[in-house]
Amino acid sequence: MEERIAAFCEKVFQPILQPVFLPIDRLLNKIPTDPWATVCAIALFITAMLVVGVVMKESYVNQGRTKKVWYTDLRLWTVVCMLPHVLVYFYFR
Amino acid sequence: MDAIEPYVSLHFIDYAIVVVYMIGSLVLGTYCAKYVGNADDFFLAGRALPFWAIGFSIVVSDIGATDFVAVAGAAYRNGISAANFDWMGSMPAMVIAAFLFVPYFWRSGVFTIPEFLGRRYNGAVQFINGVIWVFVQFVMLAVMLWITADKLMYTILGWNPYYTLWIVTLITGFYTFGGGLTAVVFTDVVQLIVMYVGGLGLLALCLWEVGGIGALHDRIIAMGPQYQDHFTLLLPNDTVGPFPWTGIVFGLALVMAVAYMSGNQLIVQRTLGARTEWDAKAGMLFGGLLKVFIPLMVAVPGLCAILLLTEPLDSADRAVPELIRIYMPAGLRGLMFAALFAALMSHISATLNSVTTIAVTDVVGLIRKWSGAAPFTEKTALIVGRILTVFFVFSTALSAEALGNADQIYVFIQTVLSLFQGPVLAILLLGILWRRATGWGGLAGLVLGVISCFILNYTPGLFPSEDPFLFVAWWSFIFALVVTVVVSLLTKPESDDKVRGLVWGSVVKDPNAQAALQERVS
């Protein structure tokens, strides 16, 4: 069954889709993995931290908080949760 | 070095630890039944869960017993890149889920994600999404049950797989039947602690034997060119294996992981049961922090096995069983197997509870609505939920062997799981962020998006990777996004009353919308 679906897709869709995806693959292959893979990964973590910590309103981030003390601030939690990941991707680059 | 033996032997103390763990889980789960009085208690733990219980439960529900063996095997074979699914594939997605999706789901007071899609779009979207999740989770559970009973416990310990399967399923099914989500979450807390003690014990023993993480790195790199990438997380785009960096960053981190953490009932149900919106968000973040340690417990032992096991293995998945057999003393072995059972049981209970919730709310409930019958009362919904729990317990256990042994079905289910997540994420995202998205747009995006997934997955020669599901997820997400936008613009906009309190602008800026929403929920 699976082989028949693959044969059908190869015959019908490959001629249409290959000219779209192959140039994209070639373009991505030209991007050097070192350092761009690590840069993109770490940028993703830092962007998430900045969006929660700076862009979003404090009232929205901490909506529903009953104890208003520094250690219940979810902006701080976001940074604490993200930092180990940044270190991991820096170490295993 | 010991020669490879067929089975790992357990001592009396090991059996005692496993039995005490099983009885403890059963007693704790059954005790929680006294807090269940209606459907809200059964499906959402009475919306009273604290953040720490949510965080523990999310992590332990996500990890199955097979992860301990399969991820270690993948790390033994391919290196640390196998850990991307728990690092890159978790934390960014959990932050997005916590601050973008969870507040909306929690505020709208829904039981399930398909129900949210039904309110935002229409009943057809809700029904299709509900049926997909029930089918996929049912088959995934059956497959995981058989793989754990046969490929794990029988292969490692020589235990009869039927006994393992029925004992574990009946114990877990019994406390899930009685205690609902409360039982699931509080047994999860204990199960995570058991899992961490067993997993970190194995990690500490392995690192002690190889001389620490620095020695592990240096000794593996020195073994030759085939091991040079074993400590690299992000591999080149033209890697033949399934984890090129472009797929990891775009397909996994931005689509599959976000869809999994935001659109998977198994994960989101815990946050819907939170006592406050803050607990829902904090539970997600806390779960993300706990997940940092999972690859250390499951992938690093696989790397250590490269140095510690000098006898060639017939399968990479034998790496962890061999480490347990050779290096773990009596007592710790029992704890490690209790950890494996904990991982399996938490996954079973979480799946049973989430499948039942979707089946009652989005499949049976919707069919009743369409046939003109009155909606379920709280009490009837609870009874139907419990009947369906019993049905799923027996049907998954009975079909486990047939489904678990059929490789094609396993591949099919893995494919489906990775395939429909892109389109679901697209309509969820547009439903929340774009007021103009319409019911027809959502339906077209979901249906055509899933079809596009199959086409991209089965058409050869489109992507460099031999297993291109990460790229399929990304491009199907983009395609579904475009289809939903185009069809929405071509169809009549939804009324203000319908979308009030369900899209970003009205939730954040309009206090009247919140009041209307509260009224609707109550």
- Contacts A–B by Cβ distance under 8 A: 138
A2-9 mean pLDDT: 83
B508 lies within 8 A of chain A by CB: yes
Whether the predicted pLDDT of B239 surpasses 80: no
The pLDDT value given to residue B522: 47
State ipTM.
0.89
Residues B97-107 have a mean pLDDT of 85
Q: Which of A6, A48, A64 sits opposite B460 (nearest CB)?
A: A6
Chain A contact set for B238 (CB, 8 A): 29
CB of B270 less than 8 A from some CB of A: no
Residues of B whose CB is below 8 A from A17: 455-456, 459, 462
Q: What is the mean pLDDT of chain B?
A: 82
Neighbours of B461 (CB within 10 A): 11
Residue B395: which of B342, B351, B357 has the closest Cα? B351
Note the pLDDT tens digit of each residue in B336-390: 888 877 777 777 877 888 888 888 888 888 888 888 888 888 778 888 888 888 8
Q: From CA A21, how far away is CA A14, in angstroms rounded?
A: 10
The number of residues making up chain A comes to: 93
Residue B136 pLDDT more than 80? Answer: yes
Q: Cβ contact (<8 Å) for B95 and A37?
A: no
CB contact under 8 A, B462 and A14: yes
- Among B residues 411-450, those touching chain A with beta carbons less than 8 Å apart: 411-412
Beta bridge partners of B49: B274
Query: Quick check: B464 contacting A, CB < 8 Å?
Result: yes
Chain B residues touching residue A16 (CB < 8 angstroms): none
Asked if B277 and A63 come within 8 Å (Cβ–Cβ), the reply is yes
Contact A48, A82 (CB under 8 A): yes
Taking each helix axis from N to C end, the angle separating B123-146 and B407-433, rounded to the nearest 10 degrees, works out to 140
Angle B70-B295-B147 from CA coordinates, rounded to 5°:
20
Asked whether B266 and B354 are in contact (CB, 8 A), the reply is yes
Query: Could you check whether the bond before residue A35 is cis, i.e. omega within 30 degrees of 0?
Result: yes
Please report, for residues B259, B469, B478, the alpha-carbon distance to residue B445 in angstroms, rounded to integers and kept in the order given: 15, 19, 10
Query: A17–B103: do the CB atoms touch at under 8 Å?
Result: no
Q: Which of A27, A47, A88 to mutate to test the interface with B (most CBs of B within 10 A)?
A: A88
Residue B497 has pLDDT above 60, yes or no: yes
Instruction: Tell which B residues from 316 to 335 touch A, by Cβ distance under 8 Å.
Output: none
Mean pLDDT of B413-433: 81
Q: Is the pLDDT of residue B11 over 90?
A: no
Q: Which of A77-81, B255-259, B324-328, B500-504 has the lowest mean pLDDT?
A: B500-504
Query: Looking at residue B503, what DSSP letter applies?
Result: S
Ranking A45-49, B417-421, B514-518 by mean pLDDT, the lowest is: B514-518
> Dihedral of the CA atoms B22, B25, B26, B28 (nearest 10)?
150
**Contact (CB<8Å) B246/A28:** yes
Model pLDDT for residues B138-194, shown as the tens digit of each residue: 888 887 788 778 767 777 778 888 888 888 888 888 777 777 777 778 787 887 888
The pTM of this model reads: 0.84
pLDDT, residue B376, reads 80
What gap in Å lies between CA B112 and CA B116, rounded to an integer? Answer: 7
Torsion of CA B273, B277, B283, B285, to 10 degrees: 150
Region B81-85: mean pLDDT is 83
**Could A33 and B103 be called an inter-chain contact, meaning their C-beta atoms sit closer than 8 Å?**
no
Mean of the per-residue pLDDT values of chain A: 88
Half-sphere exposure of B390 (CA within 13 A, CB side): 6
Interface test with B, best of A21, A75, A90 (most B CBs within 10 A): A21
> Under 8 Å CB-to-CB from A71, ≥6 apart: which residues?
none
Strand partners, B274: B49
Q: Letter for the amino acid at B14?
A: D
Provide the β-strand partners of residue B32.
none
Angle formed at CA B303 by CA B302 and CA B305, multiple of 5 degrees:
65
- Reported residue count of chain B is 522
pLDDT average, residue stretch B303-327: 82
Q: By CA distance, what is B79's nearest residue in A? A: A92
Q: Tokens at residue A6, please? A: 């693959």
Report whether A74 contacts B278 (CB < 8 A): yes
Give the tens place of pLDDT for each residue, B324-346: 888 888 888 888 888 877 777 77
Nearest to B32 by CA among B152, B176, B136: B176
Query: Do B463 and A56 make contact, defined as CB atoms within 8 angstroms?
Result: no
Note whether A14 contacts B286, CB cutoff 8 Å: no
**pLDDT at residue A73, rounded to an integer:** 94
- The token pair that represents A62 in the structure block: 């901490």
Q: Taking residues B79-105, what's their average pLDDT? A: 87
CB count in 10 Å sphere of residue B55: 26
CB–CB of B145/B462 below 8 Å? no
pLDDT number for residue B330? 83
pLDDT tier for residue B516 given thresholds of 50, 70 and 90: low
B451, B481 contact by CB (below 8 A): no
The Cα–Cα gap between B73 and B76 comes to: 5
> How far A16 CA sits from the closest chain B CA (Å)?
10
Q: What is the pLDDT of residue A47?
A: 93
Q: Which residue has the higher pLDDT, B184 or B99?
A: B99
Question: Which range (B16-20, B35-39, B58-62) has the least confidence?
Answer: B35-39
- Strand, helix or coil for residue B111: coil
